Amino acid sequence: MLAEFDLIRRYLMPSQTPLPADGVALGGGDDAALLVPKAGHQLAVSVDTSVVDVHFPHDAPAFAVGHRSLAVALSDLAAMGADPRWCFMALTLDQRTFANDHAIHAWLEAFAKGFHTLCQRQATTLAGGDVTSGALTIGVTVMGEAPTGHALTRAGATPGDMIAVTGALGGGAGGLALWQRGERDLQHPLLRRYLLPEPRLAAGVALRGLASAAIDISDGLLADLGHLRKASGVGATLDMTSLPLAEALESSLGRDAACNAALSGGDDYELLVTLPAENVASAQRALGKLGLPLTVIGQCSDTLGVKGIAPNLGTGWQHFNEGAP
């Protein structure tokens, strides 16, 4: 068994020295962190929880669990067009599920590596957290900044705006399906999409001033488009033939399952944005510089609802439905 404070010192917060450059006036080790937001900016704050066997499989590699739990939280900052600054991790861990102390240390080391590596890549400082015992759960609070009045929201779309997505869709659900069939090669493009999603932070910032509304795709394209439509008060017409499908998705699952995964599977963590038609080319150029495609998949309308898709298609992931605990 590893004691709470040893675990924190050893794996989670190895350095408790405040770094003024990171905007941390007082970091981990006290009752709360003291943070220094940039003048002229608004804070974007969001929390997401990742639960074993709900969000990731119990036998997922620890590195992926660390990476993923931060990535899905950061994805909400990407959707706001916010620059990430700080995060907080609430880790609940059941040490009795490990064979021995060596297994606990090995798991924590790889978990922390996955988390810290993404922190570093996305200039995010782990400024505090909490450790408790219980079923493996990682709650991650993220805090970012956007210049006052310039954050993207779900509410800015107007009829006539084009609807576009970054990257490719269906890889999250496709990867989960493959994992459930026993695929374990982490180099497989679909497994990577499910277990090691990349939050589209640079894209979100690049789309500030170009996109009229944005949301990240966690529950599924149709479900998240539904949230955006509702917040903006618009309808949508989709062109199913233009959906960018994830690499290897159609060949692994077949056409129908691939389209279902792209429309309703969730776990893609791409950005779904609306933008005036005249901004599409600039947005594609800006994202092209990041190596990320932006594909137009439809248009907003003033007739509420969605046209262009079969009405019987599932609407995406919902907790407390059958299948979920």
Ligand X SMILES: Cc1ncc(C[n+]2csc(CCOP(=O)(O)OP(=O)(O)O)c2C)c(N)n1
Ligand Y SMILES: Nc1ncnc2c1ncn2[C@@H]1O[C@H](COP(=O)(O)OP(=O)(O)O)[C@@H](O)[C@H]1O
Residue 201 near residue 216 (C-beta atoms within 8 A)? no
**Residue 76 vs 250, nearer CB to ligand Y:** 76
- With CB cut-offs between 5 and 8 Å by kind, which of ligand X, ligand Y, Mg ion, none does residue 266 bind? ligand X
- With CB cut-offs between 5 and 8 Å by kind, which of Mg ion, ligand X, ligand Y, none does residue 54 bind? ligand X
Query: What's the closest the beta carbon of residue 76 comes to ligand Y, in angstroms?
Result: 5
Helix (H, G, I), strand (E, B) or coil at 221: helix
Q: In the stretch 156-175, what mask flags binding to ligand Y with x, by CB under 6 A?
A: --------------------
Pairing of strands 83-93, 294-301: unpaired
Q: In the stretch 68-87, what mask flags binding to ligand Y with x, by CB under 6 A?
A: --------x-----------
Please count the residues of this chain forming the interface with ligand Y, following the rule CB under 6 A.
3
Residue in this structure with the two tokens 């899905």, named with its chain if needed: 72
**Residue 28 vs 172, nearer CB to ligand X:** 172
Residues that bind Mg ion (CB under 5 A): 48
Residue 161 marked as a ligand binder: no
Query: What's the closest the beta carbon of residue 316 comes to ligand X, in angstroms?
Result: 7
Axis-axis angle for helices 62-80, 101-121 (nearest 10) = 30
Q: What is the DSSP string of 57-108?
A: -TTS-HHHHHHHHHHHHHHHHHHHTPEEEEEEEEEEE-GGGSSSHHHHHHHH
Query: What's the closest the beta carbon of residue 278 comes to ligand Y, in angstroms?
Result: 28
Residue 6 marked as a ligand binder: no
- Does position 232 interact with ligand Y (CB under 6 A)? The reply is no
Residues that bind ligand X (CB under 6 A): 48, 53-57, 72, 176, 218-219, 266-267, 317
**Residue 218 vs 252, nearer CB to ligand Y:** 218
- What sign does the CA torsion over 122, 124, 126, 132 have? negative
Give dist(CA 90, CA 96) in Å, integer. 19
Radius of gyration (Cα) for the chain, nearest Å?
20
Give dist(CA 203, CA 279) in Å, integer. 14
Query: What's the closest the beta carbon of residue 77 comes to ligand Y, in angstroms?
Result: 10
Helix (H, G, I), strand (E, B) or coil at 86: strand
Tokens of 149: 């009045």
Query: What's the closest the beta carbon of residue 79 comes to ligand Y, in angstroms?
Result: 7
- Does position 50 interact with ligand Y (CB under 6 A)? The reply is no
**Residue 24 vs 261, nearer CB to ligand X:** 261
C-alpha of 50 from chain center: 11
Please name which of 164, 188, 180 lies closest in space to residue 276, comparing C-alpha atoms.
Answer: 164
**Residue 48 vs 250, nearer CB to ligand Y:** 48
User: Residues interacting with ligand Y, by CB under 6 A?
Assistant: 48, 76, 218
